[in-house]
Chains A and B, each alone.
Chain A
Amino acid sequence: MGNALDPLLVAVLLINFFSLGASRLRAVINGAAVQGIVLGGMVLLVHEQLSLRPMLVAGAAILLKGFVIPAMLMRAMRAAAIRREVEPLVGFIPSLLLGAAATGLSLVFAKTLPLAEQHRGLLLIPASLSTVLTGFLVLTTRRKAIMQVVGYLILENGIFILGLSLLEAMPFLVEIGVLLDLFVCVFVLGIMIHHISREFSSLDTGHLTALKE
């Protein structure tokens, strides 16, 4: 099972780097969508026998992360009429380097964790840590609100990978609850984006400093 999982995890890591280096919003959103679909597929791979439960989780994950949420973001992007992240706080090359450093760090760190026997030597934990850190990097270094939502999405994907290793232990309700959480969160952020763009006629969250007291 590990052998089938590793290539998919490498694909996830590659998508991480892609979203750190790309400037066009459409490309980054698509990347996150592909990442979501890959994750949904991994749920099926992790389970030995295909019962109803993993099918449901995988279906919900693919539907939400792969299609519904990206479609919402695309609509928000069209409504706000912006295409690219023009001047991020940290440039694209430096953020790629930072992402590489974060990935290396997570590989080192995962070695020190007291893991269960069946997870030792797998890419699962380092990939999840690196995806979380990538999500954080996107969140902190990009100015456009949509880009930050994508960062949040990537961060959540990382947590989802971590959850894969605990799939037997985690109750079904928690998994579905997390997915629902994500959906609601992006929904709310979509509304916020709408209001930011209407109020400041731009999606630059830097304008939000005007709101502080």
Chain B
Amino acid sequence: MTLVLLAILLVGSSGFAGLLVGRAWGAGERIAAALHCVGGACGLAALLAPASAFGDALVLPWSIPEGEFSVGLDGLSALFLAPLFLISSLGSIYGLAYWREADHPESGRRLRVFYGLLTAGLALLVVARNAWVFLLGWEFMAVSAFLLITSEDHEKTVREAGLLYVFCTHVGTLLLFALFALMRHASGTWAFVPLGGVATASPATAGVIFLLALGAFGMKAGAMPLHVWLPSAHACAPSHVSAVMSGVLIKMGVYGLARICSLFPSPPAWWGATIFAVGLLSGVLGVAFAIGQHDIKRLLAYHSIENIGIIFLGLGLGLVGRSLHRPELIALGLGGSLLHVWNHGLFKALLFFSAGSVMHSTGTRALDRLGGLAKGMPRTALCFLLGAVAICGLPPLNGFVSEFLLYLGFLRSVASAESGDGLWIGAAFSAPALALIGALALACFAKVYGAVFLGEPRTDAARRAHDPGALMTVPMGILAGACVLIGLAPALVTPALDGAIAAWSAVVPPAGAASVHAPPQVASLAPLGWLSAMAALLLALLAGGAAFLHARTRGAAAEPVLTWDCGYAAPSPTMQYTSSSFAQSLVDLFAWALRPRAHAPRLTAIFPPHSEFESHVPDTVLDHLLAPACRRLADAATWFRWVQQGNTNAYLFYILLTVLVLLLWR
């Protein structure tokens, strides 16, 4: 525990050292990255101990009334801390080259200070054992993330993204206040104690607590109707910040929801079903929106929503298993969901790093201004390919393993559903839905990879692109290696999963009820050995095929020819399939939800003049729901304009009136 606290301290203070060092020398950024990595290593070392050796919660007196500084480590916290320390440390190294002090003198220092504070806040909230420490970490996270998103605040879109984010995160915090107040009312303490045995909440209170948690944490996680802040914030932040936000920060919503749900020994079945439904919506629509995007980082952000959906599907299954006392569903659902938390962190950070190195080299995020980058940036192309295969859930990489656990859980629940428990309804939808999500993700990444890395360069910048230096490629390589490792040897991560599942289900059974069965080990439910063998076989086949092709083509000089010129006499790179034309059929399929907008010219003459075509997919919830609602609210608020005259005397008079009313209040 002390090691984790030390790590939090080191990481949190990493950026401040740079404030004292002169700007020109450039030592500040190196000190910051070194401190961050040392802190991250400390944190990871603390997690290597077996879950039973984590020790009790650490309680220190605190000058804040009504609370004490109470932190602790269990399997669930450890599982969320691991990707946090790994990805943020790699991000700090990546940032050395990506956001150099010399290139960004106006925001470099600020970025490093708040990058460290963000990581420290995230770690603090994961180890918090009472509401106040949790809120402290939560607000550190929220405010630092705002200041990181607005690193390039001279651009209007960045400022707008930051404002939208800060609005959403404060709505979430408000819900959290209500949530913790209700929990305090039910349990009589601010500490996170099980609301089972002695301290009980009435079913209505418990239901409200759950809905508040779903709102607050769903907002942070970016689950579908609450995701409005996520795409623009991820797109506008510097790439290594996007990686931490997508890989770690939004997972705090998952952590919070899992933690709150773990406090209830026998939740009603509709909780799990609700989480499940939200997951289904986010999963399918998230990837559908992703297909329509033209901006590589925005597209990756929508994929985060999709993956949060997959994680929620598993969490919902685990919660249903808890309601119905089905330990094997808990193990498979929660196990798949938590493993996907790791996996998504790894491959999404890898993808954001790769996208960042593309941006770094070409200066654009627009898919249709890139192309042919595989020739100039082979390492980045390989890393992006690995990340893409992993995110689509294809073997032999890690995305497949977690989705495999989820498939097993869904199929098992179908097979064993009794007619009365309603489990089969969700279960019958879930496996096909997961398959649909995977297929759509595959289509989407085929589009991205094809448009960015294959074909001919569409612009001069894309033609001149080259791989970044080792500071950026090594972190990408480490993440790619981790993806492959989990894919090849999933048995390595099951101890961590079992520890987290045990911590999640270790609650006092309600009085009178039989003791809750401990969920079985994940490894005993899933044929992980076979998975490793098949993955190794697949890799061997791939390697063999590649070697064979290489041997066949060696020596034969490849002659550059056009693959497909459509009978046109003078083809140019701009005539390639664009990403939007590739995606059009799928976008049309989902037009009922995506509402794509196209501005097409009307062709009237036989030889039409120069004209332009443009299409884009706005965010439906933001543009069709939230923006009109806010506009109507602003219109309604004009009735109160007469109060705000801008006259100082009038304002002071309001204060005087308030004071008088309060004085005379009886």
Q: Are B647 and A140 in contact (CB under 8 A)?
A: no
Q: When the two chains form the complex, which single residue of A109, A133, A141 contacts B649, counting CB atoms closer than 8 Å? A: A141
Q: In the bound complex, do residue A148 and residue B648 qualify as a contact, i.e. CB atoms below 8 Å apart?
A: yes
Asked whether B417 is an interface residue with its Cβ less than 8 Å from the other chain, the reply is no
Question: How far does the alpha carbon of A211 sit from the alpha carbon of B648 in the complex, in Å?
Answer: 11
Partner of B645, one of A109, A132, A140, A209: A209
Q: How large is the interface on B (under 10, 10 to 19, 20 to 34, 35 or more residues)?
A: 10 to 19
Comparing B13-21, B570-578, B651-659, the segment that makes contact with chain A is B651-659
Sampled A-B contacts (15; CB under 8 Å): A109-B663, A129-B663, A132-B659, A136-B652, A136-B656, A137-B656, A140-B652, A142-B649, A205-B649, A206-B647, A208-B646, A208-B648, A209-B646, A209-B647, A211-B646
Determine whether A65 belongs to the interface, using a CB cutoff of 8 Å to chain B: no
B659 and A136 within 8 A (CB): yes
**Most chain A beta carbons < 10 A, residue from B646, B652, B655, B656:** B652
Question: Are B655 and A208 closer than 8 Å at their CB atoms?
Answer: no
Establish whether residues A140 and B649, one from each chain, have CB atoms under 8 Å apart when the complex forms: yes
Chain B, Cβ-Cβ closest to A210: B646
Which of the residues B645, B656, B663 comes within 8 Å of A212, measured between beta carbons? B645
Query: Is residue B644 within 8 Å, beta carbon to beta carbon, of the partner chain?
Result: yes
**Chain B contacts of A139 at CB under 8 A?**
649, 652, 656
Q: Which positions in B face A, CB cutoff 8 Å?
A: 644-649, 652-653, 655-656, 659, 663-664
- Across the interface, do A143 and B649 meet the contact criterion of CB distance under 8 Å? yes
Question: Does A89 count as interface, using CB distance less than 8 angstroms?
Answer: yes
Point out the residues of chain A lying under 8 angstroms from B656, CB to CB: 133, 136-137, 139-140
In the complex, chain A residues 68-93 whose Cβ is within 8 Å of any chain B Cβ: 89
Q: Which residues in A have some Cβ–Cβ distance to B below 8 Å? A: 89, 109, 129, 132-133, 136-137, 139-143, 148, 205-206, 208-212
When C-beta atoms are compared, the residue in chain B nearest to A137 turns out to be: B656
Within the assembled complex, what's the spacing in Å between the Cα atoms of A89 and B656? Answer: 15
- A104 to B645 CA separation, bound complex (whole angstroms): 32
Whose C-beta in chain B lies nearest to the C-beta of A139? B652
Closest residue on chain A to residue B646 by CB atoms: A212
- Beyond the given pairs A143-B649, A212-B644, 13 more chain A to chain B contacts, judged by CB atoms under 8 angstroms and listed by A's residue number, are A89-B649, A109-B663, A129-B663, A132-B659, A133-B656, A136-B652, A139-B649, A140-B653, A142-B649, A148-B648, A148-B652, A206-B647, A210-B646
Q: Give the chain B neighbours of A209 by CB distance below 8 A.
A: 645-647
Instruction: Say how far B100's CB is from chain A's closest CB, in angstroms.
Output: 39
**Residues of chain A contacted by B664 (CB below 8 angstroms):** 109
Measured in the bound complex, the distance between the Cα atoms of B647 and A169 in whole Å is 39
Chain A residues lying within 8 Å of B648, measured Cβ to Cβ, are: 148, 205, 208
A45 vs B655: C-alpha distance in the bound complex, in angstroms? 33
Tell me the minimal C-beta distance from A189 to chain B in angstroms: 11
Q: How far is the CA of A136 from the CA of B649 in the complex (A)?
A: 10
Q: Is the CB of B659 within 8 A of A208?
A: no
Q: Give Cα A133–Cα B99 distance, bound, in whole angstroms.
A: 56
The 5 closest A-B pairs by CB, nearest first: A212-B646, A209-B646, A136-B656, A140-B653, A140-B652
**Which residues of A are found within 8 Å of B653, using beta-carbon distances?**
140
List the A side residues contacting B647 at CB < 8 Å.
205-206, 208-209
Q: How far is the CA of A11 from the CA of B440 in the complex (A)?
A: 83
Residue of B nearest to A89 (CB): B649
Minimal Cβ-Cβ distance residue in A for B644: A212
A141: B residues at CB distance < 8 A: 649
Q: Return A202 CB to nearest CB of chain B, in Å.
A: 14
Contacts of A136 in B (CB 8 A): 652, 655-656, 659
Nearest CB of chain A from residue B469's CB, rounded to whole Å: 48
The CA-CA distance from A109 to B644 in the complex, in Å, is 31
B652 contacts across to A, CB distance below 8 A = 136, 139-140, 148
Write out the residue numbers on chain B whose beta carbons fall within 8 Å of the beta carbon of A132: 659
Q: How far is the CA of A143 from the CA of B650 in the complex (A)?
A: 11
For A208, the chain B residues whose CB sits under 8 A away are 646-648
The interface residues of chain B lying within 8 Å CB-to-CB of A137 are 656
Rounded to whole angstroms, the CA-CA distance of A101 and B647 in the bound complex is 25
Instruction: Kindly state the separation between the CA atoms of A38 and B648 in the bound complex, as whole angstroms.
Output: 30
User: In the complex the two chains form, what is the Cα distance from A117 to B281 in whole Å?
Assistant: 67
Considering the chains assembled together, what is the distance between the CA atoms of A132 and B656 in angstroms? 10
Give the Cβ gap from B254 to chain A, nearest Cβ, in Å.
Answer: 40
Tell me, rounded to whole Å, the shortest Cβ–Cβ distance linking A75 to chain B: 22
Least CB separation from A213: chain B residue: B646
User: Whole-angstrom distance from the CB of A174 to the nearest CB of chain B?
Assistant: 16
Which of B648, B655, B664 neighbours the largest number of chain A CB atoms within 10 Å of its CB? B648
A90 to chain B, nearest CB (A): 10
A82 CB, min distance to chain B CBs, angstroms: 17
Query: Which B residues lie within 8 Å of A140 (CB)?
Result: 649, 652-653, 656
> Which residues of the other chain, B, contact A206 by a CB distance below 8 angstroms?
647, 649
Taking the closest CB of chain B, its distance from the CB of A31, in whole angstroms, is: 20
Nearest Cβ on chain B to A147's Cβ, whole angstroms: 11
Give A84 Cβ to nearest chain B Cβ, in Å. 18
Q: How far is the CA of A211 from the CA of B645 in the complex (A)?
A: 10
> Nearest Cβ in chain B — how far from A86, in angstroms?
15
